[in-house]
């Protein structure tokens, strides 16, 4: 069978994570690489044994053996690049945040439907073993009852993602520091949080957000101080459709930050998922359960069925490879049967990206207005 030819757009996350994740799938092959600098495009393509390297997206999309693209460029490039790929009939794997605003995301969704292409959003936490087990304990009373770890009705949810990746004010100024390029903590990690809140707990009814910029200047590559106009800390209150309150605290500038933790307080106990790993945001997660009346939580063993087939020193590669696997399965389904996408697919689709973008846009709006805002249903947005 002819392998699915993939174009890699973006040479940071694209080469460090997308490429090794893709290489775990024999039915796919990286055939092209895009970089804004033609010399680097050719140089990096040769280094990684990718047949084509180009700075021209049109040339890349015209390569006969290219079927799909994986996009991990800065967010302000996502919309135009994904749109060009979809119009060329190519399937797309898109990093988050998928676009700069909700209207662009909805347009991509409508174009993908009309052109019959598969678009995945790289929400890789959905494939981390501890996260999958945590999800099933929350969503299946039968699973939770079987091992005696049912927390019952949710009372409140606390999420804290406090890391120090950009705590040093001397870290170089780049696209991440610019609103016009889609930088900031909300887009970098809040986009993930908004996706997994819905995946784990359900739809959001309303929200109230506060954004803050503590480091207002950073040096560029020449040492010249440049203004930072994006958030580096976010405090967001959510109310789920079922009434459960969610407190979400995000920061990328917290020296000695506690890491990434989700605590669900219920009527019969407390379930916690968390990692205090200082640098790898995928490694180190554990799931713990505290039964009502007990003083110490219990560390839960993750069943074998949740484990990924292979692990890497870079924790991101294994779950991203699983996202690629789900995406490739849908591409094969459409290519072989010319039918609709797989039923009950595990692939995070463009709809999930749209929902995350919706909550990000509303958070910015809430911050500007200083008020709570209602969240429309996803179906109302994408199926109208």
Q: Which of 3, 8, 13 lies closest to 34 in space, CA to CA?
A: 8
Question: What sign has the CA pseudo-torsion 362, 161, 82, 89?
Answer: negative
Other CB atoms closer than 10 Å to residue 366's CB: what's the count? 21
For the beta carbon of residue 364, count every other beta carbon within 10 angstroms: 16
pLDDT of 343: 47
Interatomic CA distance for residues 323 and 17, integer angstroms: 12
The sign one gets for the Cα dihedral 315, 220, 214, 175 is negative
Cα–Cα distance, 271 to 131 (Å, whole number)? 12
Distance CA 212, CA 265 (A): 28
Query: Do the strands 28-34 and 4-9 form a parallel or antiparallel pair, or are they unpaired?
Result: parallel
Distances (CA, A) of 171 to 177, 226, 244, 363: 10, 12, 38, 26
Burial of 237 (0-12, 13-18, 19+ CB in 10 A): middle
Low-confidence ranges of the chain (pLDDT < 70): 1, 337-344, 384
Give the DSSP letter string of 54-79. Answer: ES-HHHHHT-TT--EEEE-S-GGGHH
* pLDDT cut 70: percent of the chain above it: 97
The pLDDT of residue 141: 84
User: Which pLDDT score is estimated for 184?
Assistant: 98
Residue in this structure with the two tokens 């003083």, named with its chain if needed:
295
- Per cent of the chain over pLDDT 90 is 91
Tokens standing for residue 142: 């039968």
Strands 204-212, 154-162: pairing kind: unpaired
pLDDT of residue 278: 85
CA distance 285 to 280: 10
Element (H, E) at 37: none
Q: Which residues contact 319 (CB under 8 A, 6 or more apart)?
A: 124, 125, 126, 127, 128, 282, 308
Instruction: Dump pLDDT digits (tens) for 312-351.
Output: 999 999 999 999 999 999 999 887 765 555 545 799 999 9
Integer Cα distance of 358 and 107 in angstroms: 13
pLDDT at 337: 64
In degrees and rounded to multiples of 5, residue 4 shows phi and psi of -75, 120
342 class by beta-carbon count within 10 Å (0-12 exposed, 13-18 middle, 19+ buried) = middle
Containing H/E element for 321? helix 317-337
């Amino acid at each position: 069978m002819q392998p699915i030819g993939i174009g890699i757009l973006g040479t940071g996350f694209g080469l460090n994570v997308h490429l090794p994740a893709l290489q775990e799938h024999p039915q796919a092959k990286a055939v092209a690489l895009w970089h804004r600098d033609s010399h680097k495009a050719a140089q990096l393509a040769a280094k990684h044994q990718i047949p084509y390297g180009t700075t021209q997206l049109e040339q890349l999309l015209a390569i006969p053996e290219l079927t799909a693209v994986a996009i991990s460029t800065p967010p302000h490039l996502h919309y135009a690049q994904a749109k060009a790929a979809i119009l060329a009939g190519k399937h797309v794997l898109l990093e988050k945040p998928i676009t700069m605003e909700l209207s662009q995301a909805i347009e991509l969704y409508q174009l993908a439907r009309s052109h019959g292409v598969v678009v995945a959003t790289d929400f890789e936490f959905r494939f981390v073993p501890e996260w999958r087990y945590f999800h099933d304990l929350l969503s299946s009373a039968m699973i939770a009852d079987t091992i005696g770890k049912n927390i019952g009705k949710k009372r409140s949810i606390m999420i804290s993602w406090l890391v120090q990746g950009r705590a040093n004010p001397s870290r170089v100024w780049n696209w991440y520091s610019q609103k016009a390029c889609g930088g900031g903590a909300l887009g970098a990690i809040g986009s993930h949080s908004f996706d997994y809140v819905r995946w784990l707990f359900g739809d959001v009814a309303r929200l109230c957000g506060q954004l803050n910029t503590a480091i207002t200047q950073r040096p560029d590559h020449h040492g010249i101080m440049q203004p930072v106009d994006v958030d580096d800390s976010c405090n967001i209150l959510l109310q789920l459709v079922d009434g459960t309150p969610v407190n979400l605290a995000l920061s990328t500038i917290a020296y000695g930050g506690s890491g990434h933790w989700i605590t669900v307080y219920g009527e019969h106990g407390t379930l916690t998922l968390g990692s205090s790993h200082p640098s790898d945001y995928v490694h180190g997660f554990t799931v713990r359960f505290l039964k009502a009346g007990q003083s110490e939580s219990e560390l839960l063993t993750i069943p074998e069925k949740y484990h990924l087939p292979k692990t890497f020193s870079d924790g991101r590669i294994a779950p991203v490879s699983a996202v690629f696997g789900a995406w490739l399965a849908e591409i094969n389904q459409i290519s072989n049967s010319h039918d609709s996408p797989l039923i009950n697919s595990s692939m995070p689709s463009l709809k999930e990206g749209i929902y995350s973008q919706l909550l990000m846009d509303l958070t910015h709006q809430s911050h500007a207005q200083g008020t709570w805002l209602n969240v429309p249903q996803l179906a109302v947005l994408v199926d109208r």
